[in-house]
Structure 1
Amino acid sequence: MSITQQYLLDSYRARQHGEPAPPAPGSHDWQVARELRDYRQFRAVVAGRPAHGRIREALGRWLHGRRHASC
């Protein structure tokens, strides 16, 4: 069963029971992506690592040797 078919079935069942319709598939994708980014930044801070620019700094170390970026 595809996502669209499941959504239509859930909407039909909700309407039959007088409940609010479920959100459409993909309607909260950006919110989920932002929350995931925020969670990863939080975990980085808790672990004592910089929260921003970690990938760029790692690539810089890999490309240019062991030079560290100043914070």
Structure 2
Amino acid sequence: MSITQQYLLDTYRARQHGDPTPPAPGAHDWQVMRELPDHRQFRAVLAGRPARGRTRARMGTAWARLFARPSRKARPSRPAEPSRPAGPVISGECAPRTP
């Protein structure tokens, strides 16, 4: 029996008994994947082993924050360059005369 067939059978039985319908297959897959490391730590504690796992990830994140290059927004801005004329200026030829 496939997952879909089992789901349809469970839905049918729930309707017959007036119970709420079960969630569709795959509806909570990401939540289960996020909770899996926590479950492993819980099982390790119950077995009497040290609960490890997230410490390494947290340390990696902390090291990345400490030694990351500053973002462009945080960097000091460069001093403005002096403005240059639009075209080449030949000495004395384009200079305006004053009376």
Greater C-alpha radius of gyration: 2
C-alpha displacement of 1:18: 0.5
Aligned to 1:35: 35
Distance 1:51 1:34 in 2: 16
C-alpha displacement of 1:51: 3.1
Distance 1:18 1:25 in 2: 20
Cα 1:30/1:38, change in 2 over 3 Å: same
Aligned to 2:57: 52
The Cα RMSD (Å) is: 2.7
**31-40 vs 12-21, which moves further:** 31-40
Compare the two structures and name the one with the higher helix fraction: 1
C-alpha displacement of 1:50: 3.2
Q: Could you tell me the percent identity over the aligned residues? A: 71
Q: Partner of 1:52: helix, strand, or coil?
A: helix
Q: TM-score if structure 1 supplies the norm length?
A: 0.58
C-alpha displacement of 1:32: 0.4
Q: Partner of 2:23: helix, strand, or coil?
A: coil
Structure 2 spans left out of the alignment, 5+ residues = 43-50, 60-99
Q: Which has the higher contact order (CA 8 A, sep 6+)?
A: 1
Distance 2:30 2:10 in 1: 22
Count of aligned pairs between the two proteins: 51
Matched to 2:22, the amino acid is P
